[in-house]
């Protein structure tokens, strides 16, 4: 599976607000192998934890799977094409940077 790091513009284009929190991850494609490849490719990412949350965009076409990382407020976000149940990329989301929060 090819690892595809999305730019900020690509990430922003992958969802439509408002986002809806999902309570079920049964529809997710196999993500473990993709995560292993992302960790090997991303210099800013050493390890990941559990799935923190999953959000679906208003159009119902894209899910964002937020996965905890070794740094507070930084998430590995996997983007899933809902209709195909397939991963199509990832983005490192740093909420501290997004909202100007000091670590």
pLDDT band at 102 (very low <50, low <70, confident <90, very high): low
Within a domain: 32: yes
Count of the separate structural domains present in the chain: 1
pLDDT on residue 26: 62
Within a domain: 82: yes
Q: Are 40 and 90 in contact (CB under 8 A)?
A: no
Within a domain: 2: no
Distance CA 101, CA 99 (A): 6
Within a domain: 14: yes
Within a domain: 40: yes
Within a domain: 3: no
Within a domain: 50: yes
Evaluated on CA atoms 62, 68, 70, 73, the torsion sign reads positive
Q: Is the pLDDT of residue 78 over 80?
A: yes
Q: For the chain, what is the mean pLDDT?
A: 88
pLDDT on residue 1: 67
Q: Is the pLDDT of residue 64 over 90?
A: yes
Considering the entire predicted model, what is its pTM?
0.89
């Amino acid at each position: 599976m090819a690892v595809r790091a999305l730019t900020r513009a690509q990430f922003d284009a992958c969802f439509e607000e408002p986002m809806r929190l999902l309570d079920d991850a049964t529809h997710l494609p196999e993500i473990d192998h993709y995560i292993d490849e992302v960790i090997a490719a991303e210099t800013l990412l050493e390890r990941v934890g559990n799935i923190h949350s999953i959000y679906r965009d208003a159009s119902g076409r894209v899910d964002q799977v937020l996965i905890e990382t070794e740094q507070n407020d930084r998430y590995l976000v996997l983007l899933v094409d809902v209709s195909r149940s397939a991963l199509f990329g990832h983005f490192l989301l740093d909420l501290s940077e997004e909202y100007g929060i000091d670590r």
